[in-house]
A and B are shown apart, each in its own frame.
Chain A
Amino acid sequence: MTGGVAVFDYDNDGLLDIFLTNGAEIPSLNKSDPGFYNRLFRNNGDGTFTDVTEKAGLAGVGYSMGVAAGDYDNDGCVDLYVTGFNRNQLFHNNGDGTFTDVTDKSGVAGMVPGQGKPWSVAAGWIDYNNDGLLDLFVVNYLDYSITTAHSCQTDNIVDYCSPNEYRGTPNILYRNNGDGTFTDVSQQSHISQYAGKGMGVAFADYDGDGFTDIFVSNDTFPNFLLHNNGNGTFTDVALQAGVAYNENGKTVAGMGTDFRDIDNDGRPDIFHAAMFGDTFPLYRNLGNGLFEDVTDATGLAAMTTRFTAWGVGIFDFDNDGNKDIFTAGSAILDNSMEVNHKPYPLPNGLYRNLGNMVFKDVSAQAGASFFAPAAHRGAAFGDLNNDGKIDIVVTVLNGEPQLLMNRSPNQNHWIILKLVGVADNRDGLGTRVKITTANGVQFNEATTAVGYNSSSDKRVYFGLGNATIVDRIDLAWPTGVKQVLKNVAADQILTIVQSGRPQKAGPSKLSSQVQWPAAIGRTDRFEHVRAGKCHSLAPGGKLL
């Protein structure tokens, strides 16, 4: 079940690098051989990558599962949190191409009081209390011990046991203290009340109250929608909201997830992958705290019911202004053919959004290598060659990862926003962005928590269709700062340094007319002065 991947710029050269998690020897659960090391590949900028794992100090320990990238200390260099079966690790980015394991010092080893170290799968960075510091949410799977595990059978064939055979485990929320340490606030935030079988996590402010909420997709267990109450506590409202079960009132084998506004109505929607026979649910946010399962109505039910998938992402792959859906396919069991008479390797899926909440399966037309069956797992999304088109890195169990470069032959325009928080977290995670062009409005949110076990580019992507100008960009930063940019040219990677003062606490609606002067820097110039180093920012965005 490993196979996490992150795309992030570890050396601040403006190019996304790739980090891949790896398993360990069984049953020792040690990375006893370099073949088990996690791997960091530096993007050379010419279509090639260099393995810099050992120099970076990221080989890791234990059986690693997932990864979350985020600049938790706001020093301008993105750090990594790696989840695992027996060990979780926080790596601080030193800014010189190396990382330091600060897990013990920072207090984020992933232990659950009274239960020891649970099986952690995914994690994500979120500023849940809007204090300008990234906090850490860790998703745990189920209560499984390698020493006491029993085997199961289907029709006299040995296979893995169903998750129904095991108890769920609670997730963990770590509050960032701002001094390099974290406090486990799972109990006081009520997160620990909810024991599930988590596989994926994604964040968005689904009700527009100004506080980022959490969605956890669970495996054969009702999903969690953890509403951020704004006072440091969360409440699971999945059942009332209509996202705990699918339309038929059934749990599904929840896998990776994404929480993004797919119909551009200003309300983030939820999608997650599942197992064959389930369909992959798409829950449309209706407002007022309610979602509706639109898997059938969008045509996704018929397209996905035959497949099992892990990594997912909601991105506009053809830059036509409508966000599409990607899924990384593979059956669960490596002996799936023997047990279920279905192939283990499966193709990736690409579902094009036709703009009216109807999707078209274009997987087979997306390229031979794209559609080639494999044991896919995690997927991370980002523009690896900065050509304005979102590329995908997909992991393959016991195989080479797939680097799917987006060569879509369209002339559509685009804009990529790199947010630099000042009062807010440096990555700008949790910032809600609305753009207005001649073709209408679009919404997105800055996040790296996407899919299964994986972490995507923190930059915010928009396809613009035939629009060459973005008339207006509205940003609502988590701390309440509103920022507006006008008449921005398309086809650029635009760095936006946070500017302005926080608004009074309360709902952060993007319709606000309040404008604050924007600090804008083209990526090339901005990166030039800070390449290769971590820099703190003074108020106003000035480099220190």
Chain B
Amino acid sequence: MIWLLALQLAVGPAQVAVGPEQHYENAKQDFAQRKFTEADNEVSAALHGSPYMVPALVLKARLATFAHRPDVAKSCLITAITADPSSEEAQFFLGVFYYMQNDFKLAVSPLQTAQAISPKSPLPAFYLAMTQEALGDEAKALELYQQAENLSSQKSPQSASILVAYGRFLLSLGRTQESIEKDRRALEADPESRDAHYELAKGLDHEGDFKNAAVEGEQALTLPDLGTSDAQIHFLLSNLYRKLNQPDLAKAHLEKFQAAPQTPRK
């Protein structure tokens, strides 16, 4: 017994062997909780044990994107697709990666592959729509936005995001009424969408319905700031109240706009 006790003391506390799968599961949880450093450590451990684990490679790529390491992200995604070309997740995120890098032409192929693998998923169609929009192919973009909308029939924040982007594209084409319709549907899908309230306010502004536009803008201000900034909303409201001949409110929002942090841009 003594030799057994001595052995235990020599090796320290009992170690439970953790496999790559468990490391990956840990990484997923950390990622969901936005604990990116921990997630990166876990996913690296998973890949150390299983270098071609496709979900881990994809997660590593997503973490690398957050860390402004596009070289690592790209390498992981290409390794993942080499290991399993039928991985919808890897194909989709490679397409998203290229889209985020402004490599729109390169984004098309993996997104189309992802779409072919999972034809009922709205996300590949959605990113393809935005990619075609960026490439200037108006007709294809409209078709794909419509596909994405059709595929996201369930009311959710995700479907609301798709409708907001669709509406924003229609607005940029000067198709204001159709844009407003998409924004309204986005709000049906997610009444708490700040982006949807803001875009609807812009559309109504274009249509000359300043009063309801202001209502939407005020509503947007009450919602969490995830995309559209407070500054943007105050700026819009300032213009709307000016048009509504309410100079005090216009001035107040203008002052808030000027006081709000502006997003620096390059």
Interface, chain A (partner B; CB < 8 A): 155, 162, 164, 220, 239, 242, 245, 247-251, 253, 279, 290, 296-299, 301-302, 305-306, 340-342, 358
Contacts and interface: CB of A to CB of B under 8 A. Distances in A.
A340 B103 CA distance: 9
Contact of A249 (B135, B171, B206, B231): B231
B78 interface: no
Q: Which of B169, B172, B262 gathers most chain A CB within 10 Å?
A: B172
A247 B136 contact: no
Contacts of B136: 306
B118 interface: no
Contact of B235 (A245, A253, A305, A342): A245
B206 A250 contact: no
Contacts of A155: 68, 70-71
B183 to A, nearest CB: 13
B115 interface: no
A51 B21 CA distance: 74
Interface in B214-256: 231-232, 234-236, 239, 242, 254
Q: Which of A164, A245, A296, A297 gathers most chain B CB within 10 Å?
A: A296
B117 interface: no
Interface string B123-137: 000000000011110
B101 A297 contact: no
Interface string B188-211: 000000000000001000100000
A342 B99 CA distance: 11
B228 to A, nearest CB: 8
Contact of B171 (A245, A290, A296): A296
B266 A220 contact: yes
A339 to B, nearest CB: 10
Interface of A is mostly: loop
B265 A251 contact: yes
Contact of A251 (B71, B103, B262): B262
Contacts of A245: 235
B102 A342 contact: yes
Contacts of A296: 171-172, 174, 176, 202, 206
Given A306-B135, A340-B102, 12 more contacts: A155-B70, A242-B239, A247-B236, A249-B236, A250-B263, A250-B265, A296-B171, A296-B202, A301-B173, A302-B133, A306-B134, A341-B102
B257 interface: yes
A342 B18 CA distance: 44
Nearest to A247: B202
A316 B263 CA distance: 37
A341 B174 contact: no
A247 B235 CA distance: 8
B174 A358 contact: yes
11 contacts: A155-B71, A162-B265, A164-B266, A239-B254, A248-B232, A249-B234, A249-B236, A297-B174, A301-B171, A301-B172, A341-B102
Interface in B152-186: 169, 171-174, 176
A296 B173 CA distance: 6
B111 to A, nearest CB: 16
A224 to B, nearest CB: 16
Contact of B172 (A239, A253, A302, A342): A302
A306 B136 CA distance: 7
Q: Which of B101, B171, B266 gathers most chain A CB within 10 Å?
A: B266
Contacts of A247: 202, 236
Q: Which of A155, A250, A302 gathers most chain B CB within 10 Å?
A: A302
A473 to B, nearest CB: 33
B13 interface: no
A389 to B, nearest CB: 28
A164 B138 contact: no
A220 B172 contact: no
Interface string B69-88: 01100000000000000000
A302 B138 contact: yes
Contacts of A248: 232, 235-236
Interface string B98-116: 0001110000000000000
Interface string B30-74: 000000000000000000000000000000000000001011000
A279 B174 CA distance: 13
B174 A249 contact: no
A220 B265 CA distance: 7
B264 interface: yes
Contacts of B176: 296-297
Contacts of B257: 249
Contacts of A251: 262, 265
Contacts of B174: 296-299, 358
Contacts of B264: 162, 164, 220
B265 A249 contact: no
A342 to B, nearest CB: 5
B232 to A, nearest CB: 5
Nearest to B235: A249
B143 to A, nearest CB: 15
A351 to B, nearest CB: 13
A305 B138 CA distance: 12
